[in-house]
Structures are given as structure tokens and as C-alpha cells.
Amino acid sequence: MDFSLTDEQQLLKNSVSDYLSNRYALDTSRRAARSDAGWQPQVWKSFAEELGILAAPLPEDRGGLGGGAEEVLVISEVLGRHLVVEPFIGTVVLGGGLLRRSSTAVAKDLIGGIAAGDVVTGFAALEPTSGQSFHSVRTTARRDGQHWLLDGEKIVVSDAPIATHLIITARTSGDATDTSGLTLFVVPFDPTGPNSGIEAHHYRTIDDHHASDLVISDLRVPDSARISEVDQAWPLVDVALDEATAATVAEAVGVLRKVLADTVEYTKQRQQFGVAISNFQALQHRMVNMHIEVEQAVAASYLASLNLDSQRRARAVSAAKATIARAARLVGQEAVQLHGGMGMTEELAIGHYFKRLTVIESEFGNRDFHTARYHRARGAEASRRG
């Protein structure tokens, strides 16, 4: 597959890489992730004001730059290489993807806020009984005059501890596992203070990101907080999730490339019996296998991003995510083993990258989930052709 960057995309990649290389130290970002703040808000503002990457994929008529999947791929891969914890995918790709498909006034305002670096979103979708199916929703929304009352539980709401707004899926009709009958709402959120109708439990995940479990009880929101047609949210959610999954695949490519490069360099430096261990044929074979996995991941990432606007979207994204899940496990585990006991220490960068790969392996669905989804999508495509 030929994927050549345009001059503008290469400039974008270079700008983000230079910024992160000079101003985003791994030890500083880890300390920030474990602080009360949980992230570096000044970096987020720099992403908006200096680099413009928060506006890159958002529509121009709402304050964005009108970029597409290729720009998201370029940015996400660089962010992955530098292990950035700030919520680009969760807010710009997923949150922005949901909001830009809404014609409501609140959605338009929030997109402008994302581009300016003032808005961070958390997507409250998964529930204790959902498994990995985002459409399995028991949280309910019932009309109360010109308002809605929401009740339910949400788990592992990524970025909620730093969010300004929550985008919530709620069932307005149908059974708990139906793709129809879902409606989207957006509500302001204060992660540090009390929120009427929302009880939040915040925590840090193993990869130094942040998430929350939420209990929603009689949360009263106006109809203006609804950002989808009643009962018609799933088509919006399905596409936005695929865009976020493709971006996560691109992020994983950045992580994998960094892990492979660091592992090869380490084996050139570490010596046994007076020679670098990179000279041992058995270890060379293992690193060749790592290289093959990384190259397959790169191809899968391109395939997913280039098919986001095609009828093959679901199949391409699931194929890429299943490929990445396999690569994340093999490359991550091999890297740790080739580094020896140091591979799992906090002091060595490889341990942090390994933890991120471990989370990516199951984020937005694990390998089994996407393998099954791939076969369903392939069958659906065959039915359309036949």
C-alpha cells in the first residue's frame, strides 16, 4: 500500500514531533499524570494555540481546520511515539466526531471549545453489563416535560477526571442490547466538585491515563442537551467509535516503532561474554519477528484510516484493531524480555510503553471482539454484493 504524506502533512508531522521532542519529557508527563491535576493543561493549550492540532480534524465552519483521517493518523502516531497522555483521541477524535455530526447549537459551541483547548470530553457509554458492546445500554432517559431524567451506571469513562463535559448514551426505547433506541446527551461536568445527579469515582489506569465510574441518579437535563435524534444515536456512535479506534491503532504504531527502536538499541549496548547481545542469532530472530509485526501494524493502520469513508469501514477497522492487538502483545512482551528485569521498572521508558500497549490491546474492543466483528462485516458486504 502506498501512503505518501503531502507536503502539508509532512510539515504537520515535523511540527508535532519537534514540539514533543523539545518540550514533552517522559518523566515530567508521568509526574503530571500522578499529580492531583492528572495531566498538563498548559500542554493542551499549546496543542491548540501553537500547533493547532486540536482543530485539525474539526469542520472549518465550527472553528476547525477541516482535516481528515490522514491528519488524525499522522498526529496520533507521533503522540503515541512520545507517549502523550493528554486526551487527543478521546476529545478531538471521539468527542469531536460525535459533536460534528450533530446540528444542535450546543454541539457547535462545544466543537469551537475543543478547537480552542477549552473543552475536554468524556464518553460515558460502557456499563457493568455491556462487555465490549457499546450499544448494550441500560441507562435510561425518560421525558419530563421539556427535560429528560437520566438513570444508570457507566464504567471506565476515559478522561472523565479531567473533563469539562460528558457525552452520555441513554436508552429511550427498546431492549438493552438493541442498536436502535439510543439517544445522546451532553452535560457539563466538574470532576473536582459535586455534580447534581452524578456520583463519580475517579482513578488512574495502569498506563497513567485517567477514567471514572459514574452513578447517574435522576440527572435532569434540558432537551437542548440532546445532541442526536431520539432513538437514532447508534449510527453516529458507530462511525465515531471506528474513527477513534483507527486513531488508537495509529497511536499504537507510534508506540510500537519506539519500542522496537529502543529494544534494538539496548541490545547493541548490553553485553554478555564480552560481546553485544545483538550479535546473538536467537535474539536477532526475535527482533526480526518484532519488526514484521510492526510493519504489519503499519499497513493495517493505513488500511483502517483510508477506509473510514468507505463501505468497508467496519471490516478495515476491525482487521486493523485485531492486528494491533496481536502486535501489541508480541512486541511488548518481547521488548520487556530482551531488556531483562529492567523492562518492568518505572525508571526505564520501556516499562511505560509496555503498559500503554497492554491497555491498547483491549481498548475499543479486544482481538476476539474485532475478529468476530470482521467476519460479520465481511458477511454483510458479501450480502450487499450478492
Whether residues 296 and 356 share a domain: the answer is: yes
Residue 2's pLDDT band (cuts 50, 70, 90): low
Choosing from 230, 265, 280, the residue where a domain stops is 230
CATH number at residue 255: 1.20.140.10
Q: What would the mean pLDDT of 254-273 be, rounded to a whole number?
A: 94
In what helix (H) or strand (E) does residue 218 lie, and over which residues does it extend?
strand 210-222
What's phi and psi for 143, nearest 5 deg?
-70, 145
Domain presence at residue 309: yes
In tens, the pLDDT along 107-156 reads: 999 999 999 999 999 999 999 999 999 999 999 999 999 999 999 999 99
Residue 168's pLDDT band (cuts 50, 70, 90): very high
Whether residues 25 and 131 share a domain: the answer is: no
Total tally of structural domains belonging to the chain:
3
Domain presence at residue 159: yes
Question: In 100-137, which positions are buried (b, 16+ CB within 10 angstroms) versus exposed (e)?
Answer: bbbebebbbebbbbbbebebbbbbbbbbeebeebbbbb
In tens, the pLDDT along 17-67 reads: 999 999 999 999 999 999 888 899 999 999 999 999 999 999 998 889 999
pTM of this prediction? Answer: 0.95
Q: Is residue 240 left, alpha or beta, with left meaning phi > 0 and alpha meaning psi from -120 to 50?
A: alpha
Q: What confidence score (pLDDT) does residue 343 get?
A: 67
More confident residue, 43 or 345: 43
Q: What would the mean pLDDT of 71-99 be, rounded to a whole number?
A: 97
CATH number at residue 170: 2.40.110.10
- Structural domain harbouring 47: 7-120
Alpha-helical segments (H) within the chain: 7-23, 26-33, 41-46, 69-81, 96-99, 105-116, 234-269, 281-306, 313-338, 349-360, 367-385
- The 8-class DSSP code of residue 225 comes to G
Q: What confidence score (pLDDT) does residue 386 get?
A: 67
Whether residues 64 and 139 share a domain: the answer is: no
Domain presence at residue 168: yes
Whether residues 194 and 252 share a domain: the answer is: no
Nearest C-alpha neighbor of 312 from the set 364, 374, 253, 252: 374
Whether residues 276 and 180 share a domain: the answer is: no
